[in-house]
Amino acid sequence: MKYMINTPMSKHTDFILAPNFNILKEFVSANNGIGSGIETYSLSEYTFQSVFLKLTGAQEQKMKCICWELATDNYEYRYARYTKKKPGECSNYDDKNEVYRDLISAINELQDDFNLSAYLDRSLISQEIMRDIRDLFEGSNLATWAEPAYLAFTQDNQIIPANQFASNNLFNDELKKRYLLLYKHRNRCAHNTLSYQENLPSFKSLHIADFKYDNYFVRFAILILIDTIVVNLFKKYQQLLAET
């Protein structure tokens, strides 16, 4: 038998199941007292970069913890993941997609008639994430600092299309492109390349249709979407494992 029965609750479980949206709530709350006068605008990029890196870092660690949990419970997965092929840093799309597919495979092994479309209401997930982020930032100094980006975000209902995620892969083509924009910015911030590169878009990039998705509110929505998907799948996995 490849599964360990009655595996004790892991210390990683609370971290995996905690919604990363809480990080955004703390971010907005922490900046409430700063104000939104012109003298505060110099703080904008520093604060947005800070929470963006906190979100990406938390997500990368969560993905690694999920791999560890699957490997703890399943001997064959442990051999495949930690002997033959070690997990990546879980920062790029391919790594995240692999963890997503690993979770789906683990669930399918425990419930062969598992229906992903029935379990995850994609339209509801998309609507709730967009609504929650709009409501969280509405009226905040952060929305004032990045007003053009925030207004563009609130007026676009196709930022996370319901037919573009949680199918055979984590994302389909359009959301993969938007994640690539996010990932490029993650690397710019993490490696401080903005310190020697001009922090302004080129005229060529401004003409690209996807440029409007290269802003913090879209990045937050995509990161929260990934978190929502993997947390819900991990809950299902834990439920099925407990019934084994």
Give per-residue pLDDT as tens, 97-107: 999 999 999 99
Helix, strand, coil percentages (3-state) for the chain, rounded to 5, are 75, 0, 25
pLDDT score recorded for residue 114: 97
pLDDT band at 1 (very low <50, low <70, confident <90, very high): very low
Question: Cα dist. 213→40, 45, 242 in Å?
Answer: 25, 17, 41
Per-residue model confidence as pLDDT tens digits over 35-77? 778 888 888 889 999 999 999 999 999 999 999 999 999 989 9
Parse the chain into domains and list their residue ranges.
Answer: 47-242
